[in-house]
Structure 1
Amino acid sequence: MADTIVSGMAGRYATALFELATEAGAVDSVKADLDQLSVMIAESADLARLVKSPVFSAEEQLKAISAVLDRAGISGLSGNFVKLVAQNRRLFALPRMIVDYAAIVAAHRGETTAQVTVATPMSDAHLAALKETLAEKTGKDVNLDVTVDPSILGGLIVKLGSRMVDASLKTKLNSIRHAMKEVR
């Protein structure tokens, strides 16, 4: 966990949750619950508003998030954690806490995540080859977070930790355009 950098209030909550989950042997189940909750927040504008809005009191947030957790079947350590976050008026930071928790779990497992941007969806064979190449370079199991962005025209952009490789057609064309301007 030493090579994972989580900071701030959300990082402290995520670290505390990871330590509790480790003691309880529930790291994976907590991660699954938090991933499910993250998807729910992303898909529901009302839930996102509840989480982010300071207009709701702690009691209103706790009552509403408890109902959401019950309906989703999220209980135990995960449910209690989210309820505690609501009681402490920190629900606005829950999405960051979920991201930080996932980063801590990945570091604990010796995994890392690469953000990959492509112009068109990649085939499974290309994804597997990229994953294998990145794993060889880092010595870690690499998960890919793939985003499709047609504006890069072609090629790909890979961000892994503090390193970035931009092999997009858009960047290459801009380099050529810049070089042509210098020649004049």
Structure 2
Amino acid sequence: MRAGPADRREVWLVETIVSGMAGRYATALFELAQEAGSTDAVAADLDRLKAMIAESADLARLVKSPVFSADEQLKAMTAVLSAAGMTGISANFVKLVAQNRRLFALPSICAAFTALVSASRGQSTAQVTVAEPLSDTYYAALKEALAQKTGKDVSLDVSVDPSILGGLIVKVGSRMVDASLKTKLNSIRHAMKEVR
């Protein structure tokens, strides 16, 4: 059976969402989670793991540092997953990523998985970078504003980066709005240099 235009468009969309090594891992996990009927559970586990990495400097160092061996990363991640109560597909997947020395890509894999889940639901994913965690009120307001702007239900993939100083950076698809204080200060600094 040949793929029609709608099928080709869907394949192109998925290939656009996920690319590279992180995309391949996310796609494999997504397909496995769909087959097991546990997409929501895996998504929740990955969100929790991503939050744990953001909150713990030690865990972030373990994930990002090439100094640790695959065995050390596997043992440490097994302990972290056990302490967090994560089991099943999610835990096995993270262990596989650690064994393959790809733990550094875990945040990108989580983001790609979230994008795949959103696309499968007809949603759009917005990658949001903020200087400090969003309150529930601001989270809901941002989600509603993006839904009105895009005309779709939007899921938010929020990451905290204190280096932006304030404001936020929002990326939906190929569109990006950088309303960070750091960018505004750099623009002012650049303008001041031109005046001299």
Query: Which range, TM-score by smaller chain?
Result: 0.7 to 0.9
CA contact (8 A) 2:118 2:155 kept: no
Looking at structure 2, the residues matched to 43 and 125 of structure 1 have their Cα atoms a distance apart, in angstroms, of: 20
Equivalent position SS for 2:18: coil
CA contact (8 A) 2:63 2:106 kept: yes
Amino acid paired to 1:67: A
Q: What CA deviation, in whole Å up to 9, does each residue of 1:100-124 have, x standing for no partner? A: 111111111111134488xxx8995
- Given candidates 62, 83, 87, the residue that maps to 1:75 is 87
In the alignment, structure 1 residue 62 sits paired with structure 2 residue 35: no
| TM-score when normalising by structure 1 | 0.73
Q: 1:142 to 1:53 in 2, by over 3 A?
A: same
Q: 1:34 to 1:116 in 2, by over 3 A?
A: closer
Alignment match, 1:86 = 98
1:125, CA displacement in angstroms?
9.4
In the alignment, structure 1 residue 107 sits paired with structure 2 residue 127: no
In the alignment, structure 1 residue 23 sits paired with structure 2 residue 56: no
Alignment match, 2:3 = none
CA contact (8 A) 2:114 2:125 kept: no
How many pairs align?
Answer: 170
| TM-score when normalising by structure 2 | 0.69
Equivalent position SS for 1:31: helix
1:26, CA displacement in angstroms?
0.5
CA contact (8 A) 2:26 2:110 kept: yes
Looking at structure 2, the residues matched to 61 and 30 of structure 1 have their Cα atoms a distance apart, in angstroms, of: 21
Equivalent position SS for 1:143: strand
Gaps of 5+ in 2: 1-9
Alignment match, 1:11 = 23
1:24, CA displacement in angstroms?
0.1
In the alignment, structure 1 residue 48 sits paired with structure 2 residue 56: no
1:94, CA displacement in angstroms?
1.0
Gaps of 5+ in 1: none
Amino acid paired to 2:57: A
Greater CA deviation, 44-53 or 159-168?
159-168
